[in-house]
Amino acid sequence: MLWGGHTGGLELRRKDGGAVALRGRFPYGKRAVLSDGGRTGRPKKEVIAPHAFAYRVNDPKEEIHFLVGHSYDKPLASRGAGSLDLTDTEDALLFEATISAEMQDVSYVRDFLGGLSAGLIMGLSPGFRIPPKRAVTNPETITNEGSDPANGMHNAIIRTITSALLFEISAVTRPAYTEAQIEARNWGSTGSIACGKPNHLKRWRF
């Protein structure tokens, strides 16, 4: 399983009956620095192209989960349970998850909601696999970015994922992508929680 990350657009609202509605977005076309290359290597970046997750997202029969920290032992919602809706757009993968009042009595769910409200769990990270070449001939491309002295990057390798099998999306503390902001809001509120700068993942995922 491969993991991408983003601090992207998560909104929390209280619903009638005590349920919590979470809305979020994972923007496409953003670059994540997965490795600065160290002392002798080349920097490595990753881009997830628009509609890269469309294959499983657009098939309602495919099960997809919303998890805490990529742990299937800590589910928050799923399509199979009728508590997760996903929409694939040109700009982003959008989702809405509903956490029932009963689920909020579970200890890890309470911990997650507390961390979200405190601004500590602010990232989104999809868990996916690259399809086999027999199914998709070119699911990814590798290009050279070239030098960018202003950012201290030289001859970076860019991996662009154009097709991937999405199995879950997780709330995480340390996402790789950093362009968007996560918000945690009460029902009807317009206030938001500021997000601190997360650490980059120092890895290259194949």
Stretch 128-136: mean pLDDT: 91
Rounded average pLDDT over 136-155: 74
With a CB cutoff of 8 Å and minimum separation 6, the contacts of 29 are 47, 48, 49, 50, 91
The pLDDT confidence band at residue 183, using thresholds 50, 70 and 90, is: very low
Q: Taking the CA atoms of 158, 179, 57 and 122 in sequence, report the sign of the dihedral they define.
A: positive
Q: Which residues contact 106 (CB under 8 A, 6 or more apart)?
A: none
The residue ranking higher by pLDDT, 81 or 43, is: 81
Q: Is the pLDDT of residue 194 over 50?
A: no
Is the pLDDT at 151 greater than 60? The verdict is no
The pairing of strands 65-68 and 165-172 is: parallel
Task: Quote the pTM value.
Answer: 0.77
Task: Say whether pLDDT at 6 is over 70.
Answer: no
- pLDDT for the residue numbered 37: 78
φ/ψ of residue 47, rounded to 5: -130, 135
The mean per-residue pLDDT over the stretch 179-187 comes to: 37
**Vertex 48: Cα angle to 44 and 50 (nearest 5):** 150
CB atoms within 10 A of CB 138: 8
Where do the DSSP E strands lie in the chain? 2-3, 11-14, 20-27, 31-35, 44-48, 65-68, 71-78, 84-88, 92-99, 123-129, 140-148, 153-161, 165-172
pLDDT value of position 175? 61
| Count of helix runs (H) and strand runs (E) in the chain | 2, 13
Least confident of 51-65, 76-90, 161-175: 161-175
* Dist. CA 31–CA 151, nearest whole Å: 13
For the chain, give the percent of residues with pLDDT over 90. 41
The arithmetic mean of pLDDT across residues 165-189, rounded, is: 60
Strand partners, 128: 2, 166
pLDDT in tens, 18-73: 888 888 888 899 888 777 777 777 888 889 999 999 999 999 999 999 999 899 99
Greater confidence (14 vs 82) lies with: 82
Q: What is the pLDDT of residues 29-39, one digit of tens each?
A: 988 877 777 77
What is the pLDDT, as a whole number, of residue 182? Answer: 39
Measured distance CA(179)–CA(136) in Å, rounded:
29
Nearest-angstrom CA–CA distance, 162 and 197:
27
Q: What residue has token string 């998560």?
A: 10
Measured distance CA(115)–CA(146) in Å, rounded = 39
Average pLDDT taken over every residue of the chain: 78
